[in-house]
Amino acid sequence: MALILPKDYDPVLSVRQTQEAIKYIRDTFQKEFGKEMNLERVSAPLFVSKSSGLNDNLSGVERPVTFDILGVPNEEYEVVQSLAKWKRMALGEYNFAPGEGLYTNMNAIRRDEELDNLHSCYVDQWDWEKVIRKEDRTVEVLEDTVRTIFKVIKHMEHEVWYKYPEAVNHLPEDIYFITSEELRLRYPDKTPKERECLISKEYGCVFIEKIGGALGDGKPHDGRAPDYDDWELNGDILFWFENLNCAVEISSMGIRVDEAAMEAQLKIANALDRKNLPFHKALLAGELPYTIGGGIGQSRLCMLLLNKAHVGEVQSSIWPASMIETCKKHGMILL
């Protein structure tokens, strides 16, 4: 995705007003989200040891930022790329019961991101996870949870409208569900990203289910690590964003792997060597709770609700000097 420069773009809010709105959205959303989902806020690590197997491998090709620590010799550490596995471990260690969960502010560095309007090397999101019973590992539970998240986001639109009526982006009234295979069959001659844009534009907001496994054409809709989401019980929440004429992913989430799904997906991904890592050993031994969880992009949500055209307008990150100057000429002031 190359840099998009919307014609006649008007940011509406000044930089200082935008900073105020960012804080308001973040403070308000996490409070309401935690209450609606029965989640407690916890502290989370910025980095984990490489040997723990807790870091998120994302699609398997992204390089984590690594370093050593003088006081802990013979160990390598990685800045987290997300907290998908750490959260599940924490729920077990903190003795959370079914129906209870946690959320945290996750800050990550993704050094291999291609920088554009939606992608930054700095990632900030609400990472959340909830304990469920084994019998709750169903599509129905997944979709009910998605509807709850959509309801909180929709309510947040009204909150922003009360405070910043001139700037708020009005969202659709409902969310549409479709599997990645159904989407492929609907647009067989399109790429996965083109399909996402077409379906999002048609319905305004969609949840695309079952991401990670091979579709009927032998290719996955998108890459997913094999050791946290169950590829049959996961998905992405996408909104159509008129400013950029594309779909914007706000959340990636899912019911997490059980022992059988972990084994099968590691085999498909040729990653059976991970079974020797502490996290994977504990999961395969049945020592971790069954969970559902995901991440909600903080800057992406602010961008969506405030109708901003570049993620750099709502977060402070690193951008090429040429991008900063070009955006400034088109009304996008990068923080």
Active site residue 51: no
With the C-alpha atoms ordered 222, 224, 226, 232, is the resulting torsion angle positive or negative? negative
Indicate if 252 belongs to the active site.
yes
What angle separates helix 139-163 from helix 15-37, to the nearest 10 degrees?
Answer: 140
Active site residue 125: yes
Query: What is the rounded (10 degree) CA torsion for 319, 320, 323, 328?
Result: 70
Question: How far lies 12's CA from each of 166, 169, 171, 274, 298, in Å?
Answer: 7, 11, 18, 49, 20
Phi first, then psi: give them for residue 117, nearest 5 degrees. -60, -30
Q: What tokens were used for 287?
A: 């020592």
- Among the listed residues 32, 62, 157, 249, the single catalytic one is 249
Exactly one of 30, 82, 120, 125 is catalytic; name it.
Answer: 125
Record the tokens describing residue 14, joined without a space.
């000044």
Is 49 considered catalytic here? no
Of the candidates 56, 129, 258, 313, the residue annotated as catalytic is: 56
> What gap in Å lies between CA 292 and CA 234, rounded to an integer?
9
Please list, in sequence order, all residues whose beta carbon lies within 8 angstroms of the beta carbon of residue 277, skipping any fewer than 6 positions away: 51, 52, 53
Gap between the Cα atoms of 270 and 250, Å rounded: 29
Question: Smallest Cα–Cα separation from 128: which of 251, 279, 281, 288?
Answer: 251
- What span, in angstroms and rounded, lies between the C-alpha atoms of 86 and 39? 16
Verify whether residue 236 is a known catalytic residue: yes
Catalytic residue among 110, 195, 256, 300: 110
Which residue in 196, 236, 258, 313 is the catalytic one? 236
144 is catalytic: no
Would you please indicate which residues are annotated as catalytic (active-site) residues?
A: 56, 110, 125, 236, 249, 252
